Homo-oligomer: A and B are copies of this chain.
Amino acid sequence: VASCIVEQCRADLFDLQSIEDAAAIAGNLAIPIVAALTQKVAAANPEAAGFVHWGATSQDILDTGLVLQLRKAVAATGVLIQRLGDAVSFQTRAHQRTILAGRTWLQHGSPVTLGAKLAATLTALDRDRARIREMGNRLFAIQFGGAVGNLAALGTRGVEIAAGFAQELELSMPATPWHTQRDRLCECATVLGIANATAGKLARDVSLMAQTEVGELNEPAAAGRGGSSTLPQKRNPVGCAIALASAVQVPGLVATMLSASIQEHERGLGNWPAEWETLPKIVVLTGSSLAAMGDVIAGLEVDSARMSANMAITRGQIFAESVQTALAPVLGRGTAHKLVAELVKVAQKQRRDLSAVIASDTRVTRSLSERAMRDLFDPHEYLGSTDAFIRAAL
């Protein structure tokens, strides 16, 4: 009997359009699928038709189907994270010593290296991967509870049949059905949502560094990519645009999943269908974001000359903390901070190099040798623990 049913369980035998149409009236997809399957089985073996969908409820079918899809989707997301991670890792190594301005509040702070910027992303991707792995232990479970979650229609054999169902699908057997305990799906939404934000943050940085006035990075060029319908010179950062568009959309969708998870009693009213388009959308947006940034980072064009030129924009003010750090042991950190702030203002007012202003201030020259003063403006001398952090991240 079972094999008669199994034989008909092939997607290509079904008229998807008519199932879709019927679902609009029935309220979910499972009802017309079960009807169509029963009909097909009946044609082959009327007796077998009597056993189709026995003991199950619509949500058992749709939730388990969703979990099977999520298993694939999450694995694919993992591959995309890996691919992005590999690209980030490659560029981290390649640019461990590529120096550029570190920026805080969108203002120059102190020098950093491109490798260090990317290394921080690398660790975030590692944590994203860990979350996905840990989530899998909870998420990949069958849904099988029947109408009200006790498999009553299967009499005393419910657990046994459920276990077989789980084994067949290589999913885990949950302690209880979870028709209205949606934390597994919420976790999936949030874990993907966080990975999506990791890619989004990276996209924000790349796009800021690709601004015409910054020009330190560029997305890889490709024919027909990033053009404009009216501006002939444009080469838009389309990969970053994809990731940023995802970054804007996913938080609201995650909120929807959390709101929808307050589902009534044994099966809720309205909140369950609210998940149907929301979670898949999160999956697709996250995947497209990770994929886009994987391409961007793998083919990233780096203009280190421009990075150096940008660091020079402030005529040495990017080394203000470096100067302060050198003066602090002599003058105390507070006094040094105030002195350097004062000298920076002089440099700004007189449009002079900070190094020149410093070299002509006796409070500084009293404290530092000429050689030491020169080193203060060498970014290689002020990278602190950069290498150690990069090593730890790799």
Using an 8 Å CB-CB cutoff, how does the interface string of A315-326 with B read, 1 for contact, 0 for none?
A: 001101111110
Chain B residue at minimum C-beta to C-beta distance from A348: B233
List, in ascending order, chain B residues with CB within 8 A of A338's CB. Answer: 232
Copies in the complex: 4
Do most interface residues of chain A lie in helix, strand or loop, or is the interface mixed?
helix
Chain B residue at minimum C-beta to C-beta distance from A382: B152
Which A115-149 residues sit within 8 Å CB-CB of chain B?
116-117, 119-121, 123-124, 126-128, 130-131, 134, 138, 146-149
A337, CB-defined interface residue at 8 Å: yes
Is the CB–CB distance between A384 and B324 below 8 Å?
A: no
Q: Given A159-B388, A256-B249, do A181 and B110 touch, yes or no (CB 8 Å)?
A: no
Is the CB–CB distance between B269 and A106 below 8 Å?
A: yes
Known pairs A204-B263, A233-B320, A243-B270 / 17 extra A-B pairs, C-beta < 8 Å: A50-B332, A51-B332, A105-B241, A109-B231, A110-B147, A116-B149, A117-B266, A127-B187, A146-B384, A152-B385, A186-B194, A197-B262, A201-B263, A232-B337, A233-B321, A248-B271, A249-B277
A253, CB-defined interface residue at 8 Å: yes
Residue picked from A52, A126, A148, most chain B C-beta under 10 Å: A148
Is the CB–CB distance between B249 and A274 below 8 Å?
A: yes
- In the assembled complex, the Cα of A30 lies from the Cα of B229 at a distance in Å of 8
Pick from B112, B162, B262, B385: contact of A159, CB under 8 Å: B385
Give, as a whole number of angstroms, the nearest-CB distance from A129 to chain B: 11
A47, CB-defined interface residue at 8 Å: yes
- In the assembled complex, the Cα of A42 lies from the Cα of B335 at a distance in Å of 11
19 A–B contact pairs at CB < 8 A? A51-B333, A53-B229, A102-B149, A104-B265, A111-B148, A123-B175, A124-B178, A127-B187, A130-B138, A149-B389, A151-B385, A152-B382, A197-B258, A197-B262, A201-B263, A213-B310, A230-B321, A240-B269, A249-B260
- In the assembled complex, the Cα of A326 lies from the Cα of B259 at a distance in Å of 39
Is the CB–CB distance between B53 and A333 below 8 Å?
A: yes
- In the assembled complex, the Cα of A119 lies from the Cα of B180 at a distance in Å of 12
List, in ascending order, chain B residues with CB within 8 A of A265's CB. Answer: 102-104, 106, 117, 205, 208
